[in-house]
Structure formats: structure tokens, C-alpha cells
Amino acid sequence: MHNPLEYLGRQIESWKQAGTYQALRELQTACQPVCRIDGREVINLASNNYLGLADHPQLIEAAVQATRRYGAGSGAVRSIAGTMSIHLELERRIADFKRVEACVVFQSGFAANSGTVAAILSPEDHIVSDELNHASIIDGCRLSKAKIHVFPHKDTAAAGRILEELDNQPGRKLLATDGVFSMDGDIAPLPALVEIAQRHGAILMIDDAHASGVLGRNGRGTVDHFGLHGQVDIQVGTLSKAIGVLGGYVCGRRELIEYLYHRARPFLFSTSHPPAVAASCLAAFDILEREPERIENLWNNTRYFKTALQAAGFRTGSSETPITPILVGDAGAAHAFSRALFEEGLFATGIGYPTVAQGKARVRTIMTATHSRDLIDRALEILSRVARKSGILAE
Ligand SMILES: *Cc1c(COP(=O)(O)O)cnc(C)c1O
């Protein structure tokens, strides 16, 4: 029979030949430091559940209560009949937490980024974007049809030169950066970016997906980390990583949020969160403010693990946060290393092109607050043993 999608199968076959095909791993327990995946107990170094909130009893209880009270679903998009009291309560809570005028919550961080960039830019505008920015920022820009100018990773001088060249061109300029870069775990040079944006009258946007709940006081993010409150126009955060649930948000001036209420397409055309999601997120912010020791644990574990990895001879690149890549180079080798680790009881994902550049494939590890020292030591032992066997570390 005629199959017009046959070319997809051929492409998949070529990935299998190259060793870059990745079967989905099946998580059979809650997301925890040790979980069962594909029938095997493994140490989990692959989740973004930085603070261990994903299965926290208070978040679960909040979800159950909200479901009982308000139902399983919200019934409509936000701009029609899907704005529930609990959605507004969460937005006020986040705005207070982030010390900004207002906040809008989206269904995901992806929707927050793509929906916001697409809404505020037009074809005559420009986005100046770090080459390692998240796909959702890029997608937003493509949807807006604004012109994309990519600068080398964290090269603020290059970003400044691009903006200077754009100074006498029409259109608005958006300077966009991730707060913490998701593949390398390094932190954006925010003070320099603030200065450049101000010098050239550009809008400054930061995507704090991996910094929310991780950097800054009580996890307030990169702006707080650098003490730059009031100097970043658009702060995006996620509720899906350290917060442990699902969603994304945009924080800033009231006019930005009002505008997005009227123009951001995921807000207008996609149903709002179930009440349970908003309730769990509210519970998570309570915990962030009440239990700062979770974030301390996260950073203590991170320092301990990273130092030990480096002492063992692993190349960890420029990481400064709980995301620590182990650089391998070849994509096939990175995926093979990841598979071998899994066989020995450790789950860390292999990442290759197109998620990272050709030749910069890696196994990415993510530390959390809830990994015990004993578990971290076991993880280090497995990593070193398997790396020696795979030729990633010298024998
Ligand atoms: C994960 C991530 C997102 C998307 O967030 P979700 O809430 O998972 O949709 C956006 N930006 C960056 C940098 C991310 O790492």
C-alpha cells in the first residue's frame, strides 16, 4: 500500500545506524533520586526536579483538595471562562515572590517563551539572541517573523556590536538570554547584558527556566542572584522544573502582562491549567519561602558532586549550577556511555546534535537537593568505572 510517510522510517533507520536513536525510557515510579525505569532501579541524574518537590506530600495534598473543590479541569481558555480564582492567586503570588508588578501564567515554559516573543515582536523588529538560547525563544521569534541575530555564547561584546549596528534601523530590539543554560549549566552574564540593553534601548528578556527555584534568594532567579531587580523587562520562569509541577510564567510591568492577556496566543487559544496544577504550584512557593535549606542542600550536593567529577578527570565544561555535563564529543559515544551507565544503575541522558552542536555531545547530569551523600558517592563510582571501560577516562 502507498505510504507517503515512508521517508520518516528511512530517517529513523539512519539514526539507528548512527547510534543516535533513543528509545523512550519508561519511568515506572514517581520522580525520585532512585527510581525504577524500564524495570531497573537506577540513580536518577536526569530530572529537573531540583528541590524534590514533584512528589512532595504538600503539593499532592493541595492538588487533591483543589480537584475536589474546583474539579479536574478548568473548562475554557483563560480569556473566555477559564480564569479561576486560583489562577489569579498564583499569578499574584509569583509577582510578589519575584518583586514585580504583575505575572501571567502559561500552560508551560515553552508556551510562555514562544507566546510572549511572538506577541511582542513584529516582522520589522529584531531579536538579538545567544546562540544557546532555548528552542522556545527561537520558535517565538520565528512566529513573530522578526529578524533573528544570533551572537556567540555569552559574548556580550558581540551582542553589543549587533545592537550598535541596529541603532539606526527601524523596529524594536529584543535582547534575549537564558538565565542558566540548559545544556552547559553556565549562568548568563546578566550585568553586562543589562548595560548593553540600556545603552541601545533594547528590551531585555531572560528565560529563567533552570534558575527558578535554584538561583537567587529562595530561588527568585537570576535577576535576584545578580541584584538587578527592576532592570530586566521580561522575566520568564517555569513551574515545571524546581517548582515540581507544570507551567511557565512571565513577570514584569503591569502593561506587559495586560498586553499578553490580550495577545499571547497560548493564553487566548489553549485551555488554562487544571486547578490542581495551580494549587500545587502555590504549595511549592510556600515551601520555597519556608524551607530555604532545600536550596542549600541542592547547592551543597552540586559542589560536592562537581568537585568530585573534576577530581576524577571528567571534562565538565563551564558549568556553574546543578546541571553538569560530562563532555564526550562524539554523539554515538555519548549515547553509548549513557546506555552503559544505565546498565550499571545510573540514569543520565546522552545529548547530541541537534540539541547541542556537532562534536559537543555529552552526558548531562542534574543534581537535586534530595540525593543523599551515599547516593552521590555511588553515582560517582559508577561514572568513573563505566567511563574507564568506555575509554572516556584513561584506564
Ligand atoms: C525547560 C525549558 C523551557 C520550557 O519549560 P517547560 O515548562 O518545560 O515548557 C524553557 N526554557 C528553558 C531554558 C528550559 O530549559
Q: Residue 233 belongs to a domain with what CATH number?
A: 3.40.640.10
Q: 77: part of which helix (H) or strand (E)?
A: none
CB 272 less than 6 A from any atom of ligand 1: no
Indicate the residue among 290, 319, 351 that finishes a domain: 290
Is 182 among the catalytic positions? yes
Kindly state the average pLDDT of the residues 121-147: 96
- Distance (Å, rounded) from C-alpha 200 to C-alpha 202? 5
Per-residue model confidence (pLDDT) at position 21: 84
Over its C-alpha atoms, the chain yields an Rg (Å, rounded) of 21
What is the chain's length? 395
Residue 209 CA to ligand 1 centre (angstroms): 5
Q: Are residues 148 and 252 in the same domain?
A: yes
DSSP string, 326-393: EEEESHHHHHHHHHHHHHTTEE-EEE-TTTS-TT-EEEEEE--TT--HHHHHHHHHHHHHHHHHTTSS
Q: Does 395 map to a domain?
A: no
| Within-domain flag for 286 | yes
Q: Domain boundary at 251, 272, 290, which?
A: 290
Residue located nearest, by CA, to atom 1 of ligand 1 = 209
What's 385's domain CATH number?
A: 3.90.1150.10
Rounded-to-integer distance, Cα 36 and Cα 364, Å: 19
Q: What's the average model confidence in pLDDT over 293-307?
A: 98
Q: Are residues 285 and 296 in the same domain?
A: no
Domain annotation covers residue 23:
yes
Domain membership flag for residue 8: no
Does ligand 1 have an atom closer than 6 angstroms to the CB of 126?
no
Average pLDDT over residues 268-296: 97
Q: What is the mean pLDDT of the chain?
A: 96
Boundary (domain end) residue, out of 240, 258, 290: 290
Asked whether residue 231 falls in the same domain as residue 263, the answer is: yes
133 C-alpha to ligand 1 centroid (Å): 10
pLDDT (average), residues 48-72: 98
Q: pLDDT category, 308, cuts 50, 70, 90?
A: very high
Same domain, 174 and 312: no
**Residue 4 belongs to a domain:** no
Could you give the count of Cα atoms lying within 13 Å of 165 in the half-sphere of its Cβ? 9
Does ligand 1 lie within 6 Å of residue 208's CB atom? no
pLDDT above 70 covers what percent of the chain?
100
Q: For a ligand 1 pocket test, name from 31, 132, 178, 207 the mutation site with the most ligand atoms within 8 angstroms of its C-beta.
A: 207
- Is-contact 348 46, C-beta < 8 A? yes
Å from CA of 183 to ligand 1 middle: 12
How much is the average pLDDT of 139-155?
A: 97
- What distance in angstroms lies between residue 138's CA and the mean position of ligand 1's atoms? 12
**For the chain, what is the domain count?**
2
Find out whether the beta carbon of 364 lies less than 6 Å from any atom of ligand 1.
no
Looking at the fold, whether 34 and 172 belong to one and the same domain comes out as no
What pLDDT sits at residue 20?
75
Q: Pull the grid cell for residue 365.
A: 547530569
Q: Are residues 274 and 302 in the same domain?
A: no
Q: For the purposes of burial, counting CB atoms within 10 Å of the CB of 328, is it exposed (0-12), middle (13-18) or buried (19 or more)?
A: buried
74, 108, 182, 319: the catalytic one is 182
Residue 248 shares a structural domain with residue 370: no
- Give pLDDT, residue 22: 81
Is there a domain that residue 313 lies in? yes
Q: Is residue 7 situated within a structural domain?
A: no
Q: Is the pLDDT of residue 299 over 80?
A: yes
Counting atoms of ligand 1 from 1, which one is nearest the CA of 178?
Answer: 13
Look up the domain containing 366 and give its range: 14-44+292-390
Nearest CA to ligand 1 atom 7: 109
Q: Which grid coordinates belong to 342?
A: 544505565
Active site residue 241: yes
Sign of CA pseudo-dihedral 110, 113, 119, 123: negative
Residue 238 shares a structural domain with residue 365: no
> Which of 247, 369, 219, 206 is CA-nearest to residue 300?
369
Q: Give pLDDT tens digits for 73-127.
A: 999 999 999 999 999 999 999 999 999 999 999 999 999 999 999 999 999 999 9
- For the question of residue 210 being annotated catalytic, the response is yes
Query: Does 354 sit behind a cis peptide bond, omega within 30 degrees of 0 on the bond before it?
Result: yes
Local confidence band at 394 (pLDDT 50, 70, 90 cut-offs): confident
pLDDT at residue 23 in the model? 87
Under the banding of pLDDT at 50, 70 and 90, the label for residue 309 is very high
Band of residue 360 on the pLDDT scale cut at 50, 70, 90: very high
- pLDDT average, residue stretch 17-27: 87
Burial 99-126, CB ≥16 within 10 A → b, else e? ebebbbbbbbbbbbbbbbbbbbbeeebb
Beta strand pairing status for 361-366 and 323-329?
antiparallel
61 and 29 both lie in a single domain: no
Residues 153 and 207 in one domain: yes
Instruction: Indicate if 340 and 208 belong to the same structural domain.
Output: no
Are 258 and 305 in a shared domain? Answer: no
Q: What is the pTM of this model?
A: 0.96
- What is the band of 31 on the pLDDT scale with cuts at 50, 70, 90? very high
Q: Is residue 5 part of a domain?
A: no
